[in-house]
Chains A and B, each alone.
Chain A
Amino acid sequence: MLKDITLGQFFPGDTLVHRLDPRTKLLLVVVYIIALFSAKNYVSYALVLLALISVVAISRISVKVLLKSMKPLLFIIILTGLLNLFYTQGEALVSFWIFTITKQGIKSAAFMVLRITMLICGTFMLTYTTSPIALTDGLEQLLKPLKRIKVPVHELSMMMCIALRFIPTLIEETDKIMSAQKARGADFETGSLLSRAKALIPILVPLFISAFRRADELAVAMECRCYHGGDGRTRMKQLAYAAADVVAMLLGVVLLTAVIVLARFGL
Chain B
Amino acid sequence: MKPILETKNLTHTYGAGTPFQRDAIQNVDISVFPGEFIGIIGHTGSGKSTLIQHLNGLLKPTSGDILLDGKSIWSSKAFTRQTRFRVGLVFQYPEYQLFEETAYLDIAFGPKNMGLSKDEIDARVRRAAEFVGVPEENLNKSPFELSGGQKRRVAIAGVIAMEPDVLILDEPTAGLDPVGREGILANIREYQKKQNATVIMVSHSMEEIASNVDRLIVMNQGTVAMSGSPREVFARAEELIAMGLDVPQMTHVFLKLREMGLQVDPSVYTVQQAKEALLALKEGR
Interface residues, chain A, with chain B CB atoms under 8 Å away: 3, 176-177, 179-187, 201-202, 205-206, 209-210
Contacts and interface: CB of A to CB of B under 8 A. Distances in A.
Nearest to A186: B113
A180 B144 CA distance: 18
Nearest to B56: A183
A210 B151 CA distance: 14
A5 to B, nearest CB: 14
Contact of B158 (A184, A187, A201): A184
B110 A177 contact: no
Given A183-B58, A184-B84, A184-B158, 9 more contacts: A176-B91, A179-B91, A182-B58, A182-B84, A183-B84, A184-B109, A184-B162, A186-B109, A201-B99
Contacts of A179: 53, 58, 91
B8 interface: no
Contacts of B84: 182-185
B61 interface: no
B89 interface: yes
18 contacts: A177-B97, A179-B58, A179-B91, A180-B96, A183-B56, A183-B58, A183-B84, A183-B88, A183-B159, A184-B84, A184-B159, A185-B81, A185-B109, A185-B113, A202-B109, A206-B97, A209-B96, A209-B144
A205 B99 contact: yes
Contacts of B81: 185, 187
A185 B97 contact: no
B127 to A, nearest CB: 16
A202 B53 CA distance: 19
Contact of B85 (A177, A181, A185): A185
A184 B89 CA distance: 8
Contact of A177 (B56, B96, B144): B96
Nearest to A205: B99
B98 interface: yes
A197 to B, nearest CB: 15
A210 B96 contact: yes
B257 interface: no
Interface in B132-177: 144, 158-159, 162
A187 to B, nearest CB: 7
Contacts of B114: 185
Given A202-B109, A209-B144, A183 B96 contact: no
A68 B114 CA distance: 40
Contacts of A3: 15
Contacts of A186: 109, 113
Interface string B58-88: 1000000000000000000000010011001
Nearest to B92: A176
Given A185-B85, A202-B109, A180 B99 contact: no
Contacts of B158: 184
B94 interface: yes
Nearest to A203: B99
